[in-house]
Amino acid sequence: MPLWIRPQSFFQTNPAVASQLYATARDWVRQLPVKHMWDLFCGVGGFGLHCATPDMQLTGIEIAPEAIACAKQSAAELGLTRLQFQALDSTQFATAQGEVPELVLVNPPRRGIGKPLCDYLSTMAPRFIIYSSCNAQTMAKDIRELPGYRIERVQLFDMFPHTAHYEVLTLLVKQ
């Protein structure tokens, strides 16, 4: 799947492994009863664009306007019309919403999603959370802040072989 990128937009820099990461997330999402999802910290939309189906409503949120411009361009070229991408802070977006999607996908920077977003997700209680992280320690810390969720699946992706850099994809299910 083609993804547009620009100099100031985030993108997984190992395209072969990123493709496997996105395909795994897509496979997991397609096994779930999801018609509405949020893709928080979405970068250029890699996860959302791979996971979306033509009848799915998806909102992608990323702080960087250049990345959002790329996501919008890719969505338009793919003919996905029920996708909305906005340049906003992910935590501020989520905490201002009244609706609850079935799935929230997060792919935060190394620092994780943080306590305010964890608290809100716990209260909002989507049925599913997919968490992708390049830092298993901050991901584990965030998951501890999500009571009421159990880990259903975990997969490691070796982003840069022979280094300590990896990506972990985790599916959390509301208990």
Note the pLDDT tens digit of each residue in 43-57. Answer: 999 999 999 988 899
pTM for the structure as a whole:
0.92
State yes or no: pLDDT of 9 exceeds 70. no
Cα 39 off chain centre by? 4
**Is 41 among the annotated ligand-binding positions?**
yes
Q: What is the mean pLDDT of the chain?
A: 92
Name, in order, each residue with C-beta under 8 angstroms of 58's C-beta and a sequence gap of 6 or more: 36, 37, 38, 39, 48, 51, 52, 80, 82, 83, 84
128-162 pLDDT, tens per residue? Answer: 999 999 999 999 999 999 999 999 999 999 988 89
Q: Does domain 15-174 have CATH number 2.70.150.10?
A: no
Task: Please report the pLDDT score of residue 15 as a whole number.
Answer: 79
**Residue 96: other Cβ atoms inside 10 A:** 10
Question: Above pLDDT 90, what percent of the chain?
Answer: 79
Domain ranges of the chain: 15-174
Give the C-alpha distances (Å, rounded to integers) separating 166 from 17, 85, 136: 10, 27, 9
Indicate which residues carry an active-site annotation.
134
